[in-house]
Amino acid sequence: MAITAAMVKELRDSTGAGMMDAKKALTETDGDMEAAVDWLRTKGLAKAAKKSGRTAAEGLVAVQVEGGRGVAVEVNSETDFVAKNAEFQGMVAGIAKAALGAADLESLLAADMGGKSVADTVNAKIATIGENMSVRRMAALEGDTVVSYVHNAAADGMGKIGVLVALKGDAGFGRQVAMHIAATNPASLDEASLDAAVVEKEKQVQIEIARESGKPDAVIEKMIVGRMAKFMSEVTLLGQAFVMNPDLTVAAAAKEAGAEITGFIRLEVGEGIEKKEEDFAAEVAKVAQG
């Protein structure tokens, strides 16, 4: 596969590796971006795979809690300007309220919202505001107590990051945990609920890194145990150092508070969507030629 300059730039941006190292990694892995990131990590040339953070979607995440059920919905717009529009925010609040009675995204889109379905309401708003919009995601959480938190709220109950936490125990502590989740973005509640494929992939990367050191297998095995324990403490909520008191893990803080965290949801606007980068110089040249 031909390795393009754009591919090399993307890998450099996501890993911080040098240009020649990035090019070699892509060459060695036949242009497979994920495999190239792992190759760089095994050679000690990338600290970790960084998320690019470039997203095509603007919009808002809204949260609603009623009794022991909480919902979070992501409604996208093309620009942040529209996300700040009171008319758009009013629609998002209505969609979040409708989500309380919906089982999933499909049933939410069909749900009634003032005499129209949610899908028809969004389509009507597209016509009046003149910008494309979509209800991208919905997630629900149930528990003895469910608390919500919105980071950098644009309006009541909505912002760029929305978090729900289900727990047995004090709602005040639950809100602190929700703020922690907004900041640290854990991959799962605990080790048992972490995707086995993610664990195995990390283990293989760590094995390759350890082998590069040239140490004996017995030493490597001990290194892997320690490194995987560190990995778990970074990506699982209960294993992370609690933002409110870094001397304690979240699990230890929960125990101290007499609480049990049973689940969480974190939605961030546009995560997982790559924004198309405009080549400004090429655009200017194109206009000049026209």
Residues 76 and 159 in one domain: yes
8 Å CB contact between 135 and 108: yes
Contacts for 223-230: CB closer than 8 Å, 24+ residues apart: 228/199, 228/202, 228/203
Within a domain: 284: no
Residues 202 and 119 in one domain: no
- Sites in the chain below the pLDDT cut of 50: 48-56, 277-278, 280
8 Å CB contact between 146 and 265: no
Residues 12 and 102 in one domain: no
The distance of Cα 201 from the centroid of its chain, to the nearest Å, equals 19
8 Å CB contact between 131 and 58: no
Residues 113 and 248 in one domain: yes
Residues 143 and 240 in one domain: yes
Q: How far is CA 198 from CA 24, 52, 71, 76, 211, in A?
A: 25, 19, 26, 28, 20
Residues 45 and 121 in one domain: no
Within a domain: 166: yes
Radius of gyration of the chain (CA): 23
First to last CA, the chain: 34
pLDDT at 120: 93
Closest CA to 237 of 170, 202, 191, 169: 191
What is the distance between the alpha carbons of residues 64 and 71, in angstroms, rounded to a whole number? Answer: 5
Say how many domains are in the chain: 3
**Domain around 213:** 196-233
Within a domain: 253: yes
- 8, HSE (Cβ side, Cα atoms, 13 Å): 13
Residues 81 and 173 in one domain: yes
pLDDT at 5: 87
Kindly report, residue by residue over 36-71, the tens digit of the pLDDT.
888 888 877 765 444 333 333 699 999 999 989 999
Residues 186 and 200 in one domain: no
What is the distance between the alpha carbons of residues 191 and 193, in angstroms, rounded to a whole number? Answer: 6
Residues 153 and 171 in one domain: yes
pLDDT at 132: 83
Question: Percent of the chain, pLDDT > 70?
Answer: 90
Within a domain: 286: no
Note the pTM of the prediction, 2 decimals: 0.74
**Which residues are paired to 117 by β-bridges?**
112
Residues 128 and 184 in one domain: yes
8 Å CB contact between 64 and 100: yes
8 Å CB contact between 22 and 36: yes
Within a domain: 133: yes
pLDDT at 56: 38
Within a domain: 127: yes
Q: Please name the amino acid found at residue 84.
A: K
Residues 212 and 87 in one domain: no
Residues 117 and 210 in one domain: no
